[in-house]
Amino acid sequence: MEDSAIWIEKYRPRSFEEIKGQEEIVKRVKAFVVQKNIPHLMFIGPPGVGKTTLALVIGRELFKEEKQENFLELNASDERGIDVIRNKVKDFARTRSLKNVPFKLIYLDECDSLTREAQQALRRTMESYSSSTRFILSCNYSSKIIDPIKSRCTILKFRPLKQDTIKGIIERVAEKENLQITEKAKEMLINTSQGDVRQLENLLQSCAAMSKNIDEQSCSEIIITTEETSVKETLDLVLAGQFIKAKNKLLETMVMNGLGGVDIIKLIQKETWSLNVEDQMKIRIIQECGEAEFRMVEGGNEFIQLEAFLAKMLLITQP
């Protein structure tokens, strides 16, 4: 079985024409590349919609075989401190391109993970080396990026891929991998991936490892995970008024599946909409999900916050 990262790389588009679902953005970027006059770019959008792929295609189209010397890719979530800006980025930016392109290119993925100090250092670097270096910044949440950086970039907003586009990708992979996928299975894959091609290809690869014939049943074995089932059981116990059993079940789910408190809250939020309770109760439960997530992100104890959430849910749903 191939590693999922190898699968994703195998089907990553290599040219502008192969990028699907972001045609307007690709058209604008391609015009910049043809003129060899790229401004600083900021790609904003959810995961798995083509931000990194487009950045890599830009580097490949501009520098061809000399891409390695003129294109630097960094993941800011791995190296998010000020040192990476002062050292790696600045060292790369201060030298000129060796190609017949008047600038080098630096791609900072997940730059919304950079600390405030690192963003200030990045702003100064963008100012100092604008003549020799262009930056492509990628993020999920632009609100976490300081205004001076946003004002220096042309902002391009990526959207989740449409269902028809996702279906086309499924059929392309199925043809190349000799997979037989039923229409029901395609529908499950489309609904689960929610426009995220990376997640789609991970799901497809997992299904293909089991069988070349992928139907609704084989998809459900991969998609409907044990933690989702356990969280649903926990919520059912709360609705039945069995708080202690619900608390123990939730703790078991966290320990056995290696999940954090925020992961659990996200699963609860997802399952809440399928509960057999009044809409008004669902709204109040979702409100408590937001409160619990906020407290955990701010440093609250995960177990205490989850117990408090279950207690509040019990008070909401019990007469």
Rounded distance, CA 53 to CA 19, Å? Answer: 8
Number of domains the chain contains = 3
Do 270 and 208 lie in one domain? The reply is no
Do 64 and 187 lie in one domain? The reply is no
Q: Are 10 and 20 in contact (CB under 8 A)?
A: no
Question: pLDDT by residue (tens digit) across 157-188?
Answer: 998 888 899 999 999 888 888 989 999 889 88
Q: Are 284 and 316 in contact (CB under 8 A)?
A: yes
Do 153 and 167 lie in one domain? The reply is no
pLDDT at 1: 43
Do 147 and 195 lie in one domain? The reply is no
Domain boundary pick from 187, 204, 223? 223
Do 121 and 179 lie in one domain? The reply is no
Look at residues 113, 46, 44, 105 and name the one whose alpha carbon lies nearest to residue 84.
113
Question: pLDDT by residue (tens digit) across 289-311?
Answer: 999 999 988 888 889 999 999 99
Say if residue 105 is exposed, middle or buried (CB neighbours under 10 Å; 0-12, 13-18, 19+).
buried
Q: What does the mean pLDDT of the chain come to?
A: 86
Between 48-57, 88-97, 228-237, 271-280, the lowest mean confidence (pLDDT) is in: 88-97
Do 75 and 97 lie in one domain? The reply is yes
What confidence category does residue 312 fall into, taking pLDDT thresholds of 50, 70 and 90?
very high
Do 80 and 145 lie in one domain? The reply is yes
Mean pLDDT over residues 267-276, rounded? 90
Range of the domain at 249: 226-317
State pTM to two decimals. Answer: 0.75
If residue 252 lies in a helix (H) or strand (E), which one and from where to where? helix 243-257
Sequence-ordered list of residues with C-beta below 8 angstroms from that of 228, at least 6 positions apart, any chain = 267, 270, 271
CB neighbourhood size of 173 (10 A): 19
Query: Distance between the two ends of the chain, CA-based, in angstroms?
Result: 52
Q: What is the DSSP string of 48-116?
A: TSSHHHHHHHHHHHHHGGGHHHHEEEEETTTS-SHHHIIIIIHHHHTS--SSSSSSEEEEEETGGGS-H
Look at residues 77, 81, 103, 76 and name the one whose alpha carbon lies nearest to residue 92.
103
pLDDT at 140: 86
Look at residues 20, 54, 47, 8 and name the one whose alpha carbon lies nearest to residue 202.
8
- Domain assignment of residue 16, yes or no: no
State how beta strands 180-181 and 154-157 pair. unpaired
User: What's the DSSP call for residue 135?
Assistant: E
Question: CA-based angle 247:250:256, to the nearest 5?
Answer: 135
Q: Are 145 and 111 in contact (CB under 8 A)?
A: yes
Length of the chain: 319
Do 282 and 299 lie in one domain? The reply is yes
CB neighbourhood size of 197 (10 A): 24
Look at residues 10, 11, 9, 45 and name the one whose alpha carbon lies nearest to residue 25.
45
Sequence-ordered list of residues with C-beta below 8 angstroms from that of 143, at least 6 positions apart, any chain = none
Mean pLDDT over residues 277-287, rounded? 93
**Alpha-carbon 268 to chain mean position:** 20
Do 193 and 278 lie in one domain? The reply is no
- Domain assignment of residue 15, yes or no: no
Domain boundary pick from 223, 244, 275? 223
